[in-house]
Structure formats: structure tokens, C-alpha cells
Amino acid sequence: MLLVQGDCQWAKWLLLSMIKGHEYDASFCNARTIMSPNLVPDSNLNALEIDEIIHTVDDIAEGGGEMAALATLMYATDPIQNCLSSGSVKRHGSSSAQCTLENLRPTLQQFPTLWRTLVAASFGHDTTSNFLGPKGNKNGRPANYISLIC
């Protein structure tokens, strides 16, 4: 079916949104299409060019689409805390459902409870900084990283 839609991004989104189990793909397609003019202004990019520029949800957040990135991650197959990291993401050969906390911070810090909850959950802590599980030192970062970025 996706071969039929060709270079029409809205048709791709429409097809994906109607297939059960492809909600994340539909949301990612939608966010990628909406954010592409912000990343490359004054251009008329086709679907393949958009796919080359925006590989991950992190690319969407980095381009100023923090809320679109967060909304897209809500549909990911992995829990949102497993999609968030500090530092960097793997752009090739892995899931597009990954985002750095640093790229979400500009907008999400306007919502302190949400921001603190996401940061704490991604490091295996609850919002009162009690240790919840094995993610305490994600990516080799010290657990006090939470206090540095909040």
C-alpha cells in the first residue's frame, strides 16, 4: 500500500493511521512532515529527502518540535523512559523512537512537573528521586545528572 502513495506524505500518514499497530509510524510520519519546513526553510522537499534529514524523534525535537517529539514518543512500542537518553542517539540502524533530554528541555522546562518526571523516569528514579530500578546510571552518566539538567 505504501508504494501506491508515492511521494505524498499526507497519504502515507493516512494509510499508516488506519492500520492497527502502526500508530507510532503514522505519528512519526506526521511530525516529520510538519517539521521539515522548519529544518530546511524555503524548500520543497520530497519524501525521500525528508527521510534523509529526519531519522529520529530527536531530529524533530532538535528542529524546535519538542511537543511533536514528545507526542510521537507516546506511540512508541517501548515505554517512553526507554526512548529518552542523555548525550546522543544512534541515527542509523536502530529505532527512530529515541530522543535526548537535552533537545526536549527548551520547551518542556515550561512544564516543571512533566519535565522532572520524564528526567527522573529515564534514569530509573521517581519524582522524589527514589531509585526505582536498574537504569540509575544510564549511558554511564552519574545519577546526579538529574539535578544538573532540572
22 vs 16, 53, 92, 97, CA distance in Å? 6, 22, 21, 13
**pLDDT at residue 103 above 90?**
yes
Determine the Cα–Cα distance for residues 64 and 92; give it in Å rounded to an integer: 21
Specify the amino acid at residue 134.
Answer: P
Model pLDDT, residue 93: 66
Stronger pLDDT, 44 or 34, i.e. the higher one = 34
Q: Residue 100 is inside which H or E element, if any?
A: strand 99-100
Which of 84, 83, 95 is closest to 145 using CA atoms? 84
| Cβ-contact 66, 32 below 8 angstroms | no
Stronger pLDDT, 70 or 2, i.e. the higher one = 70
Model pLDDT, residue 6: 52
pLDDT band at 106 (very low <50, low <70, confident <90, very high): very high
Least confident stretch, 3-17, 71-85, 121-135: 121-135
Can you give the pTM of this predicted structure?
0.75
Stronger pLDDT, 6 or 105, i.e. the higher one = 105
The residues pairing with 125 across neighbouring beta strands, listed in sequence order, are 131
Model pLDDT, residue 139: 47
**pLDDT at residue 47 above 60?**
yes
Determine the Cα–Cα distance for residues 54 and 43; give it in Å rounded to an integer: 15
Determine the Cα–Cα distance for residues 86 and 110; give it in Å rounded to an integer: 19
